[in-house]
Amino acid sequence: MEKNVSLENVAARFAAHRPRPILRLRHFAILALLTEIDGELHFILNKRAKGIHQPGDVCFPGGHREENETLEETALRETEEEIGIPRGQIQLLGKSDYMLTVYRGMIQPFIGYVSQETFAAAKPNPMEVDEVFTVPLSFFLETEPENHPMTWKAVEVPEFPYERIEGGKDYPFSKSVFPELFYEYSGHTIWGFTAQVIQNIMETLKKE
């Protein structure tokens, strides 16, 4: 690239430039899976096994997108791997709003449906899932989640060159206050991103 950049160069480069994140995002997908029990729609949720990341958390099936895979394919693959529902038996209904996380992740929830018969025949992977259960949508429509804000802030590390910035270690680093939502249902605590996704879906349904 030439040392001298003209206005024409800048205009030509950025007129058609497609913006993307400056810091690389990690892409994830989950599947908010529905089934019908006694004439009522339920979310299918699972409790994570003790030997994996974030053990004991209640969540939807999902995970990190693999190479050459669409996010839709990720959601279906992870559902089959985790709770044993064949991807060919799942009807995808659409997507809800996505989330950008504080740890540079983009999580896209999909919404799907599976018959009660297929769900009942599924065999969850015990290496990843400790328990699978359902919660009626009516519970979330009628129940407001508890909101317990959590503050994310920079952690002091000795190798950071504080002496090179104004104020040094006293520099007023930004803090982010994040709403952590909690639902309690039949002995299960549903919180964090799963609760955020559920509330977002419920709010969208209420608007309709």
Which pLDDT band, with edges at 50, 70 and 90, does 100 fall under?
confident
> Interior CA angle at 61 toward 59 and 66, to 5°?
130
- Find, among 133, 149, 144, 135, the residue nearest to 203 by Cα: 144
- Its pTM stands at 0.88
User: Which residues contact residue 132 at a Cβ distance below 8 angstroms, ignoring those fewer than 6 apart?
Assistant: 44, 45, 46, 47, 83, 122, 124
- What digits encode the pLDDT tens for the residues 150-165? 998 889 999 999 999 9
pLDDT of residue 208: 62
Confidence of residue 104 (pLDDT cuts 50, 70, 90): confident
Range from 3-12, 32-41, 172-181 that averages highest in pLDDT: 32-41
Task: Answer yes or no: are the C-beta atoms of 70 and 62 closer than 8 Å.
Answer: no
**What does the radius of gyration of the chain's CA atoms come to, in whole angstroms?**
22
Model confidence pLDDT, tens digit, residues 164-190: 999 999 999 998 888 999 999 999 999
The mean pLDDT value for 127-139 works out to 96
Q: How far apart are CA 26 and CA 69, in angstroms?
A: 13
Whole-number pLDDT of residue 1 = 53
Which one of 1.25.40.10, 3.30.1370.100, 3.90.79.10, 2.60.40.10 gives the CATH number of domain 22-207? 3.90.79.10
> Residue 122: CB partners within 8 Å, gap ≥ 6?
83, 84, 85, 132
Using alpha carbons only, what angle is made at residue 106 by residues 105 and 107, rounded to the nearest 5 degrees? Answer: 115
Distance between CA atoms of 71 and 178, rounded to whole angstroms?
A: 25
- DSSP letter (8 states) at residue 171: -
